[in-house]
């Protein structure tokens, strides 16, 4: 239990910094309600779980190869730029006020979470973070310890997501459609900003090998 709670805190710390996933969760939570924001988080956690399993199976050593990382940063930039553009373009659409039923399905928000988490540049970033956190716990003679650590990290991310969306749900009750529209526009620009960061990482990585 000590190991579990230690890495629960680590998972919470990993999830705390505002990233593309946090922005998308907040946007969907404000526009469509708690469950749709939660669906985005579930999409992200699905990828997190697969990443932990893949790291255990040796993915980290493959993604450490520069010739694999470089195009992933660029593709990831395209992913996030598209999501940012879509957020701005449809900022006034699909806004559901508190008490109203969302017009879009739970799965559409889950899919958005998957898209953000599966952004190749995002995968490189998270693999490096997970790799650093999980490296100390990796022991072929004690596979159970690694599973406990992974479960702790996912639990920490879950605590962060529920806490964030609870605050979003409370805030949403006092926001007008116009305010929610502008939050969606701002979220779009932030996602495009993350896209720019991935392009910057692509250029830096390219300079290193040239």
Q: Whole-angstrom Cα distance, residue 33 to residue 29?
A: 5
Whether residue 83 contacts residue 28, with contact meaning beta carbons closer than 8 Å, is answered with no
The pLDDT of residue 81 is above 80: yes
Write out the DSSP string of the chain. Answer: -HHHHHHHHHHHHHH-S--HHHHHHHHHHHHH-HHHHHHHHHHHHHHHHHHHHHHHTTHHHHHTSHHHHHHHHHHHHHHHHHHHHHHHHTTTSS---TTSPPSS-HHHHHHHHHHHHH-HHHHHHHHHHHHHHHHTT--TT-HHHHHHHHHHHHHHHHHHHHHHHHHHHHHHTT--HHHHHHHHHHHHHHHHHHHHHHHHHHHHHHHHH-
Q: Percent of the chain beyond pLDDT 90?
A: 0
Q: Whole-angstrom Cα distance, residue 37 to residue 102?
A: 12
pLDDT of the residue at 101: 65
Dihedral sign computed on CA atoms, order 130, 136, 137, 139: positive
Phi, psi of 98 (to 5 degrees): -55, 130
pLDDT of the residue at 121: 63
The mean pLDDT value for 131-139 works out to 56
**117: CB partners within 8 A, 6+ apart:** 21, 43, 44, 46, 47, 48, 123, 126
pLDDT of the residue at 131: 60
Q: Which of 113, 112, 152 is nearest to 14 (CA)?
A: 152
Q: What is the pTM of this model?
A: 0.68
* Predicted confidence (pLDDT) per residue in 167-204, tens digit: 887 887 776 777 777 877 887 888 788 888 888 888 88
């Amino acid at each position: 239990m000590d190991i579990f709670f230690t890495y629960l805190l680590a998972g919470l710390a990993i999830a705390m910094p505002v990233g593309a996933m946090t922005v998308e969760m907040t946007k969907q939570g404000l526009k469509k309600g708690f469950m749709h924001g939660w669906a985005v988080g579930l999409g992200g956690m699905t990828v997190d779980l697969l990443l932990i399993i893949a790291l255990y199976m040796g993915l980290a050593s493959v993604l450490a190869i520069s010739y694999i990382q470089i195009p992933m940063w660029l593709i990831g930039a395209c992913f996030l730029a598209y999501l940012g553009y879509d957020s701005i373009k449809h900022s006034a659409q699909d806004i559901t006020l508190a008490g109203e039923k969302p017009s879009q399905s739970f799965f559409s928000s889950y899919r958005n979470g998957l898209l953000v988490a599966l952004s190749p540049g995002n995968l490189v970033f998270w693999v490096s973070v997970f790799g650093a956190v999980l490296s100390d716990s990796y022991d072929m003679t004690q596979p159970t310890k690694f599973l406990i650590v992974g479960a702790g990290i996912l639990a920490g991310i879950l605590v962060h997501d529920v806490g964030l969306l609870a605050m979003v749900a409370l805030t949403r009750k006092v926001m007008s459609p116009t305010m929610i529209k502008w939050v969606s526009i701002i979220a779009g620009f932030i996602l495009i900003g993350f896209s720019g960061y991935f392009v910057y990482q692509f250029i830096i990585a390219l300079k290193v090998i040239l």
